[in-house]
A = this chain, B = another copy of it.
Amino acid sequence: MAEGHGSMIGGENLLFLTDEQLRKGIEAMFFAYRGFTADPDRILEEHGYGRAHHRALHFINRTHGTTVNNLLAVLGVTKQSLNRVLRTLIEDGLVESRVGRKDRRERNLYLTEAGRTLERALSEAQRERMRAAYRAAGPQAVAGFRQVLEAMMDDEIRRQYLTMRDRRA
């Protein structure tokens, strides 16, 4: 019958690992990511910015005073690419770059009031979508969601993510 668990192929904890199931997961990931970025994208467009700006604002807000090198590591892009984005944010007065106090080669990055305002608008839109999804799926589903996502990261990124996951602002 329909529920014959196929236990002959490895027990029920392997049952869900069919190519069919994996394909569904892959496509869900693809479509969900589109939703995930849709709301901030609309706001960014109004300001003439792109996702790269959002990412920079997010991580500067998240780790006040972070250095350029730090940001490069987290974002996984080249300094030339980041610099282009950072320069416009600084010119537009959303980000402030201060010479490092201990090490004066470094630049510590901060959001200005205007930067905080835009960051809040972006992250609030994204949080609202996430909140609705969490609410619809329930707490147990959320725990599973995070577990799978963390297991999907590259090892090095996961280490980085886990160390900063539970930081305080």
- Count class of interface residues, chain A: 35 or more
So how many copies of this chain end up in the complex? 2
Q: Chain A binding site: helix, strand, loop or mixed by DSSP? A: helix
Q: Does A152 contact B (CB under 8 A)?
A: yes
In angstroms, Cα B130 to Cα A23, docked, is 9
Known: A34-B153, A35-B153, A36-B152. A26 touches B134 (CB 8 A): no
B149 engages A28 (CB within 8 Å): yes
Q: Which of B16, B25, B165 contacts A139 (CB 8 A)?
A: B16
Measured between beta carbons, the chain B residues less than 8 angstroms from A140 are 140, 144
Q: Does A151 contact B (CB under 8 A)?
A: yes
Give the shortest distance, in Å, between A168 (CB) and chain B (any CB): 9
B149 engages A32 (CB within 8 Å): yes
A16 engages B127 (CB within 8 Å): no
Q: Does A141 contact B (CB under 8 A)?
A: yes
Measured between beta carbons, the chain B residues less than 8 angstroms from A15 are 139
Q: Which residues of A contact B (CB under 8 A)?
A: 12-17, 19, 21-36, 38, 55, 62, 76, 123, 126-127, 129-154, 157-158, 161, 165
